[in-house]
A and B are shown apart, each in its own frame.
Chain A
């Protein structure tokens, strides 16, 4: 059906999956706040959290399947939103599964960790749905506050505390930029609604309006911070390294996915006519991010830091989708994030599986000779590394993901130079991804190296799922490609007649 978002009941229905998640999260919060802190309860809350995510996923898929649409309002009801929701929930489920084992091993009996993930997911789902800059801000804050805390979850670790504080301070800064940007955009266009902004720019010819352009600049800074685009990426390595590993995985996958979803929607719907002014800075942002991420990743000795920089590099590749801001870019984003989420989650899961208690054993050299002692883990990690590299066949869908982004860049008006940058920086990335593979398969295991701990069930499940899905989709990508191709944002301002006055009072 077509929701009339001015009618609260229909608005409620349009937000049903989000509300379901929030309500369930509240209940779980209460459940985790009462009672003693034990590992058992932590696991129980974790299980319920996964169940809640699955339930929400079902709701999302139902909404998707039902094919609802909506009038122009504060939220979007379109396949792009549902597809993004699925990606976010997928990341969350994997992250919760990982953190159940991790928290038990590290003796952090904080059941709230799962609830925090769920809160962050609520924020992300709001972001996926947002068609109003105020909702964007709300979603970003809901997501970020929970993630700041997640980063500092391990109270015994000074590193984690530093990470959380840095993240929080810089994040607060970027929120300021974002809000100021929203205010200026509102001042120039008279609306916070993304579709209305786009219409206003077109109708009133605001493409050279100083207030609007400055506001957009501030928005880029705020969003660039959330997606970790260089030079706003500085928090990433410190935070990713310091945070508990499952949370790092969650941040690297889901937070990035959500932030990019909203970035794309804003760019496609609100600012398509500003391409003349803002194309070039975004172009440089993308290239700079790719270069910095890949070059600095080369010298990392710690696997978490290496993955952090690699995630920055991937933000650069994803920015290509924003730079082109077309439908091809949107579906490339969806496909890419799917592959990236699986590969990143899988890689971090292997890191968790191999780390010794207290986050030791995370140097790349610690993986020497892994192939001899844990062939399964080594093979899975090789798949993840190759997938991140975009290597064909052995990297599964990783290659198709990168190729899709390249295709988006080459669609006319083609960004050939950008595509060449993508390939060129991928070349650099080959050095560090393959180094991990080399260490695992070829270096001899030092005699004094501790034998890896037994991999707990959930972690094993996550690793296997990620690797198998990556490989299977790599061989048979068509269904996923078809879904990605069809899950486009619905651009209201293109389909409906142009702007209307502020909503008539009830």
Chain B
């Protein structure tokens, strides 16, 4: 049932958009108010259940695996809130219908949609029993209130206020999320009922302190408590109906709602109540002080709201049943009179266009009904009998007397309440009754829609006090029972009891309040002249933190993201080094030296020396050419090392790659300034060199250490043993490539061919045809030109040889392809790329593509004959009496050869085309 109500609220708010266009300016407020009004009536249906002390529950699995279930629960406390939300909601919508009549139609539609959505979110928040669902609705109210505060977004003030409110409350929401997570960790449940029922267990949790911090931050941000109180007065930029709804009656009470629900936990936790009361007192004092200083009608009301919220937080913090009674009563009383006052303030602002209290006066002539409503509400706010405000104030003092706290809260409460009395007087007397003649005319008078809200609520404030039985039985007692956990017998205070302590306190409050009211002018002027507080309040602190945070972030951004590739590389290398070091640290021991050091041999030593020399040269090199030569040297040393350690195949490949790189780089360098000085400063060089040295030392140490542990892998033995038997090849590396891991090789070949196509299509001018034809021939060196032709043929023949003998001897398709490409590179270096292209005759891409197809095709015979792709077949034929054993590995290797050749040439020609652009 309650889920249907929630769904109805949501549908109603969605329908508000089209409906408000349909109904037009006059009627839409009245008709849309039917949504909350009918909800209000529907909730009244629950009165028997609630009055009997039962709760209505409804469950639906939503995301069960994540522990998020839509568990709704309507108990006495939620019931009070539901009635306030829907009841005041209906009046707000009616009011807004006229208040916003000057706005454009889409703008009104937006307002109605937002405010009804907001109502839905509020209902959802107070109805949900699952903390996570509560969190969802909580955040929804934040964003909706953000949109409502910034409704008049054309000027910067509402914008700033809206963003501030959103940052504060949405941030608080995330603190709530953190707390919820920890609650779930501690209890294994996210249900609010479990939190209440197992409060002592939760208080014993190791996470109790962070949980409380999270809950308090969430509640304090939402309910505008110190040090987050500043957003609420700023939020008065919202249209008044929204202020009346959000910032008096409902949203700001959500924090109180949460605190009340967590009250058992706070009470059970060490120093929980102290903290709450301390913050509440600070809030009350600051708010009272600021209320005296404020100039604008709505700002005065806003600060008085903050003070009232402080009182509520204090009441949650106080122990004893009466504190709960007082809290519940105050929630109701405050909602009634504060919403009324906001309505009246809105009417005044709307009618006069004025916002400062000082400028107003004598409005009773133009707005008589509003004035009466404001007077009634103010009397209630001042706590005078026979209004609801009186009853709630009596309970407030009763709760303080009965609680175990000392006199400080009491004194503060007296003072703050006195200020509230004065505020109540000021906001009624000043604009309406005093200063006749200040306002000469108003833009418009009172309309029924603008009156319904204030009249109904202010009269309720009187009626509920005169006829308290129904409200006590149906709403207040169940609400108190739901929060306190046990039924509390209520005895309403009355003047008939004679002079009691509480009555005396009330009288003192009214007396001081009257004094403040009498001297409001001087006090106000005096306090306004004190500007110190404006500089040192938490709003400034918040802004300063935001600003500092921004500056810090900017500094971090500059520090992390400078765009300098060299430094990026530096950091990547340094972090990589850190990870390698950690990898060794995790072994839990220092690097070891092998037991037996290998003997001293001159060959390897010389090679190592050359390598080290190359490395040093590379570090010191200042021009591109010298760097290239130095790096090339280390590359050749690597190849030599491979050769000396029994990997001739690898060495051959490395040699080919190194040579090719040199040639390619030369081609590129031809268009770059060869002797351009290095851009690195001396310091940067030193840094780079030290990082290089450190990393190489680390890697060296780790490698030496590795050589002490016996290697686990004996896979090379496996391949060595099976290479010839099953694949008829003696060159293990080649056999692995073409046979054992033929699939992988085919994949790599595809990648290489792909890169050829990419290089071709992306390097060089995009217009087809222009190609390399326009490349100006560079200087050609005669000797190079003469010899290159010879070398070209040598290299080509060599490459074919390397390819053919690959399966048994050193070589293979990859090295062969590289060697052949080297020949073409030489030609293009000597005679220009055009010449090389002419000699190639075939398009490099066709070469690569053809090679790929050949490689794939070589696997087909195996597939057809044996149902096994890339299973190589062997055939032995006699050629002139010499038996030649050849298999499908040759076309495979040839394919690789062609792909490599085509790719390198595609890059080569592409680079030249690019250079010629």
Query: Which positions in A face B, CB cutoff 8 Å?
Result: 7-9, 11-12, 22, 29, 33, 36-37, 74, 110, 112, 116, 119, 126, 134-135, 138, 141-142, 145-146, 149, 152-153, 155, 166, 169-170, 173-174, 177, 184, 186-191, 200, 204, 206, 208-211, 213-218, 220-221, 225, 230-232, 234-235, 237-238, 276-278, 281, 292, 295-296, 298-300, 386, 391-394, 399-400, 403-404, 406-407, 410, 414, 416, 419-420, 423-424, 426-427, 430-431, 434-435, 438, 441-444, 477-478, 481-482, 485, 501-502, 505-506
Contact = CB atoms under 8 A, between A and B. Distances in A.
Contact of A170 (B137, B556, B569, B722): B569
B762 interface: yes
Contacts of A438: 146, 150, 159, 162-163, 166
Contact of A221 (B64, B568, B579, B750): B579
Contacts of B845: 33
B587 A170 contact: no
Contacts of B158: 442
A394 B118 CA distance: 13
Contact of B568 (A119, A166, A189, A435): A166
B565 interface: yes
B699 to A, nearest CB: 9
Contacts of A166: 565, 568
B874 interface: no
A416 B751 contact: no
B906 interface: no
25 contacts: A8-B870, A22-B750, A33-B757, A145-B751, A146-B754, A190-B714, A191-B715, A214-B702, A230-B560, A234-B571, A238-B561, A281-B582, A296-B553, A392-B135, A403-B66, A403-B68, A410-B181, A419-B178, A423-B177, A427-B171, A434-B163, A441-B150, A442-B158, A442-B162, A505-B726
Given A145-B758, A210-B702, A505-B725, A426 B174 contact: yes
Top 7 nearest A-B pairs (CB, nearest first) are A277-B586, A190-B713, A442-B153, A217-B583, A392-B136, A217-B579, A213-B583
Contact of B586 (A213, A225, A296): A213
B29 to A, nearest CB: 23
Nearest to B707: A211
Contacts of B171: 427, 430
Contacts of A235: 568
A210 to B, nearest CB: 5
Contacts of B451: none
A217 B582 contact: yes
A237 B561 contact: yes
Interface of B: 61-68, 132, 135-137, 139-140, 143, 146-147, 150, 153-154, 158-159, 162-163, 166-167, 170-171, 174-175, 177-178, 181-182, 184-185, 207, 210, 546, 549-550, 552-554, 556-557, 560-561, 563, 565, 568-569, 571-573, 575-576, 579-580, 582-584, 586-589, 591, 702, 705-706, 709, 711-715, 718, 722, 725-727, 740-741, 743-744, 747-748, 750-751, 754-755, 757-758, 761-762, 766, 768, 845, 863, 867-871
A502 B718 contact: yes
Given A12-B869, A399-B136, A407 B177 contact: no
B751 A206 contact: no
B580 A217 contact: yes
A296 B153 contact: no
Contact of A393 (B140, B705, B757): B140
A444 B740 CA distance: 68
Given A218-B580, A231-B575, A295-B553, A502 B715 contact: yes
Find the residue from B178, B741, B869, B871 having the highest chain A CB count within 10 A: B178
Contacts of A430: 167, 170-171, 174
Contacts of B702: 210, 214
B642 to A, nearest CB: 14
Contacts of B61: 478
B490 to A, nearest CB: 38
Contacts of A7: 868
Given A210-B705, A238-B563, A427-B174, 16 more contacts: A7-B868, A8-B867, A119-B754, A126-B747, A149-B758, A155-B762, A166-B565, A166-B568, A186-B713, A187-B706, A208-B586, A276-B586, A292-B556, A403-B132, A416-B181, A442-B150
A423 B64 CA distance: 21
A416 B553 contact: no
A288 to B, nearest CB: 10
B871 A8 contact: yes
B712 A481 contact: no
Contacts of B561: 234, 237-238, 296
B726 A506 contact: yes
Given A145-B754, A218-B579, A404-B66, A190 B571 contact: no
A419 B712 CA distance: 39
B587 A232 contact: no
A218 B695 CA distance: 13
A93 to B, nearest CB: 21
Nearest to B747: A138
Contacts of A184: 706
A157 to B, nearest CB: 14
Nearest to A189: B712
A394 B145 CA distance: 14
A400 B766 CA distance: 47
Given A296-B557, A298-B550, A435-B163, A209 B709 contact: yes
